[in-house]
Amino acid sequence: MIALIQRVSEANVTVDGEILGAIGKGLVVLLGVEKGDTDADAAKLAHKVRGYRVFEDDNGKMNVNVSQHGGELLVISQFTLAADTKRECGRASRGHRLMKQNVCTRYFVRIASVQG
């Protein structure tokens, strides 16, 4: 399981003009789920993401996590994070490392719903 996080003042996901998800201040989490990832991996990653101190405290130091900051998470599927870049596979994406979508959905919900 691989996550790339970005601190945002606001963000949304729009498909065909319809907003599917939106947050105010918080973190966008691009999440790649691979075969072999487990519920325990999702729980561990969720706590790590929520615990990263990437927001400023009253003294201007990066010392506050997203929950302490009152922020939200927007978790977005990004299967390319699990891309196999070590093999000579041209530029076509390879799906052999990717988890099935129905399993991924469970992990996305878990990561988005973990509190502080």
Going along the chain, which residue ranges are E strands? 2-8, 11-15, 18-23, 26-32, 55-56, 62-64, 72-77
The set of catalytic residues is 80
Question: pLDDT tens digit string along 61-87?
Answer: 999 999 999 999 999 888 777 766 666
Q: Do residues 97 and 47 lie in contact, with contact meaning Cβ atoms separated by under 8 Å?
A: no
pTM of the model: 0.77
Task: Identify the pLDDT of residue 82.
Answer: 72
pLDDT of 108 > 80? The answer is no
Question: pLDDT tens digit string along 25-42?
Answer: 999 999 988 888 888 888
* Residue 33 in tokens: 């789920």
